[in-house]
Amino acid sequence: RLGLLVLLFFAVLGGYHVHFMLTAGDWDFWVDWKDRRMWPTVVPILGVTFCAATQAFWWVNFRLPFGAVFAALGLLLGEWINRYVNFWGWTYFPISLVSPSALIVPAIWLDVILLLSGSYVITAIVGSLGWGLLFYPNNWPAIAAFHQATEQHGQLMTLADLIGFHFVRTSMPEYIRMVERGTLRTFGKDVAP
């Protein structure tokens, strides 16, 4: 049984990781993309879907209310493996600048709402609302230092913008980026919507 649970964990890890990297990956990778508009909007919306599906599987089949935490732990483990092997191991990109979003607290909220209510409807409304509202405050301690203002060559910007200027990344899909006006000027004038 333990082997089956480990196999299921790694299947969820792989599936959630692929889903998350293909949909919310860029906003979750780089510290200078964790802005005030797109990051707290895109990442929670795309992150809750797989957690809710895993939660439904565990609840329907086993009446266990830890599906969201199970999926979030799988994603967190997969993201740290990805960050360490790909960013640090291959390119020596500073690991502190590509830390993944913290989804454990919103996942606990989602599971607790299902446990207390036993209702999918209440969990969908109250649980997903709490997921979205807890996301930004839960991640703020990790990114607050990067949102401090600095002046560089007469231009006012955040430290995250400055880091984006100095740590140039290749193969950036800047033509599809939707970023906030006034900040995240990593690519100069070409990114304002």
Which domains, ranges and CATH numbers included, belong to the chain?
2-149 (1.20.1450.10)
Question: Residues 6 or more apart from 159 whose CB is under 8 A from it?
Answer: 145, 146, 147, 148, 150
Banded pLDDT at 171 (limits 50, 70, 90): low
- Residue 83's contacts (CB-CB under 8 Å, 6 or more residues apart) are 95, 98, 99, 100
Amino acid letter, residue 117: S
Report the distance separating Cα 55 and Cα 70, nearest Å: 8
Residue whose C-alpha is closest to residue 110's, from 45, 51, 44: 51
* Calpha distance 6→97 (Å, rounded): 30
**Could you read off the pLDDT of 65-101 as tens digits, one per residue?**
999 999 999 999 999 999 999 888 988 888 888 899 9
Confidence (pLDDT) at 66: 94
Amino acid identity, position 175: Y
Model confidence over 11-27: pLDDT tens digits?
999 999 999 988 888 77
Helix (H) or strand (E) holding 135: helix 128-143
Tell how far CA 158 is from the center of its chain.
Answer: 20
**Polymer length in residues for the chain:** 193
| Digit-coded pLDDT (tens) for 16-61 | 999 998 888 877 888 887 877 788 988 999 999 999 999 999 999 9
pTM above 0.85, yes or no: no
